[in-house]
Amino acid sequence: RDVVKSLPREKYVLLTKIWPRKADWVTPSGGAKEEIDRFRKELDAEMIDVCLIHCMTNDKWPTEFARIRDELSSLKEKGVVRAVGVSCHDFGALKVAAEHPWVEVIFARINHKGGKEFACDASVQEVSETLRTARRNGKCVVGMKIFGAGKLVKPEEKQASLDYVFKNDLVDAVTIGMLKVEEVDDTLKHMAAVAG
Give 53-82 pLDDT, tens digit per residue. 999 999 999 999 999 999 999 999 999 999
Residue 129 belongs to a domain with what CATH number? Answer: 3.20.20.100
29-44 pLDDT, tens digit each? 667 898 899 999 999 9
Instruction: Write down the pLDDT at residue 4.
Output: 79
Q: Which domain holds residue 109?
A: 2-195
Q: In the chain, what is the straight-line distance between the N-terminal and C-terminal CA atoms, in Å? A: 32
Residue 41: strand, helix, or coil:
helix
Instruction: Work out how many domains the chain is built from and give that number.
Output: 1
Give CA–CA dist 14/49, Å, rounded: 5
Instruction: Write down the pLDDT at residue 5.
Output: 82
Indicate yes or no: pTM above 0.85. yes
125-184 pLDDT, tens digit each? 999 999 999 999 999 999 999 999 999 999 999 999 999 999 999 999 999 999 999 999
